[in-house]
Amino acid sequence: MTTSPLPDHMNPKRSFQALILTLHNYWADKGCAVLQPYDMEVGAGTFHPATTLRALGPKPWRAAYVQPSRRPTDGRYGENPNRLQHYYQYQVILKPNPSNLQELYLGSLEAIGLDPLLHDIRFVEDDWESPTLGAWGLGWECWCDGMEVSQFTYFQQVCGIECSPVSGELTYGLERLAMYVQGVDNVYDLNFNGRDGAEKISYGDVFLQAEQEYSRHNFEYANTAMLHQHFIDAEKECLALLAAGAPGDASNNRLHRCVFPAYDQCIKASHVFNLLDARGVISVTERQSYILRVRTLAKACGEAFLLTDAGGANWEREAA
């Protein structure tokens, strides 16, 4: 990054939003489409169709976005300085992965002010697997001074389908990274807008009450009978949409015509399952079967996606 002087509140070490903006700038400069968060509840940035579905098929793809991520079981009623049931991931997906992806990643850390000769940056083995998405890859946890600040994964399989070509996925835990660069020990003390005094908005101002309320919801109040029903409904709807949009015999009907809406239902089922899990009403054996049911939906969506334009169904023809 050049040293064009930024106002202090736009310094990534001063505000949460400046950290996000710095990453946006960096990855925009590297050719990524900077997307906005997906408008549904998901457990991680990987669930965004811009990653899950776009990692499939032959077409090149580069995107970066922030994704609010919900992990109902991580709720701590706002009492734990590090754990949140709702937090932000910064997600970068590059397909195929460029051969200098590690250097690009390290460049992004320098952009937010982490000097690799001052901070101990390390790549520690972490094989990533999402049983619900039928996905796995090899890569690392990226450590900065012993803190895991990102996950770095070379996708090998998504939705049970071999990635061809392989995508590189980078996921930054934004709160942790911000706490680190701001030198703050409690997530709620993060400076959100970079201002001081009366103008300052902290992470706690934005999210503390929500964390308390959602913790109650996740662990105590959520209506489990209703959630069970929602799971069943989402599962049914996903399969129905996939069936409705399936390619037919007619020549104008070669492609699948309803994958994204079906995949939304898969995401919904996954989140409902996470809520049921947080409520402690799922036994270990049931857990396996829920995971399997979501994976079945994800696989079906992935297979359908390959029959669409974005999935590369026309790619050979275009390339030719």
Partner 1 sequence: MPDLLIELRSEEIPARMQRKAAGDLKKLVTDALVEAGLTYEGAREYWTPRRLTLDIRGLNARSADMREERKGPRIDANDKAIEGFLRAAGLSSISEAHVHNDPKKGDFYVAHIVRRGREAEEIVADVMPAIIRDFPWPKSMRSGAASAIPGSLRWVRPLQSIVCTFGAEHDETKVIPFEVDGIVASNITYGHRFHAPEAIAVRRFADYAEKLGKAKVVIDAERRKEIISADAHNIAFANGLELVEDEGLLEEVAGLVEWPKVLMGSFEESYLAIPSEIIRLTIKTNQKCFVTRKPGAETLSNRFILVSNIEAKDGGKEIVHGNGKVVRARLSDAAHFWKRDQGDLPDLETLAASAGKFGLDLKKPLDQRMAKLDALNVTFHAKLGTQGERVARIRSLAAALAKITGADPASVARAAVLAKADLRTEAVGEFPELQGIMGHKYAVLQGESAAVANAIEDHYKPQGPSDHVPTDPVSVSVALADKLDTLVGFWAIDERPTGSKDPYALRRAALGVIRLILEGRARLPLLPCFDVALASLKLQRPAMAADVSGDLLAFFHDRLKVYLRDLGARHDLIDAVLAPDADDLLMIARRVEALTAFITAEEGRNLLAGTKRATQILAAEEKKGTEVAASVDEELFRLDAERLLYASIKVASDGARAAIAKEDFRSAMEALSKLREPVDAFFNDVLVNDEDKAIRANRLALLGLIRSATGEVADFSKISG
User: Burial level of 35, CB count in 10 A (0-12/13-18/19+)?
Assistant: middle
Rounded Cα distance between 32 and 44, Å, is 19
**143 or 260: CB nearest partner 1:** 143
**8 or 145: CB nearest partner 1:** 145
Rounded Cα distance between 316 and 254, Å, is 15
**204 or 261: CB nearest partner 1:** 204
**7 or 317: CB nearest partner 1:** 317
**177 or 266: CB nearest partner 1:** 177
Pairing of strands 33-34, 61-70: parallel
Q: How far is the CB of 107 from partner 1 (least distance, A)?
A: 12
**102 or 212: CB nearest partner 1:** 102
Do residues 83 and 175 touch, judged by C-beta distance below 8 A? no
Do residues 285 and 275 touch, judged by C-beta distance below 8 A? no
Q: How far is the CB of 241 from partner 1 (least distance, A)?
A: 29
Q: How far is the CB of 174 from partner 1 (least distance, A)?
A: 16
Rounded Cα distance between 88 and 233, Å, is 28
Q: How far is the CB of 116 from partner 1 (least distance, A)?
A: 4
ω into 165 cis (within 30 of 0) = yes
Q: How far is the CB of 58 from partner 1 (least distance, A)?
A: 6
**42 or 63: CB nearest partner 1:** 63
Spell out the residues 6+ positions from residue 18 whose beta carbon is closer than 8 angstroms to its own. Answer: 6, 9, 10, 11, 12, 194
DSSP states along 90-116: EEEEEESPPTTHHHHHHHHHHHTT--T
Terminal-residue alpha carbon distance, the chain = 39
Q: What is the Cα 82 distance to its own chain's centre?
A: 19
Q: How far is the CB of 169 from partner 1 (least distance, A)?
A: 12
Chain positions contacting partner 1, by CB under 8 A? 58, 76, 80-83, 96-99, 102, 115-125, 127, 137-140, 144-147, 154, 156, 163-166, 168, 180, 185, 219-220, 280, 283-285
Q: How far is the CB of 196 from partner 1 (least distance, A)?
A: 23
**17 or 156: CB nearest partner 1:** 156
Do residues 77 and 211 touch, judged by C-beta distance below 8 A? yes
Q: How far is the CB of 162 from partner 1 (least distance, A)?
A: 9
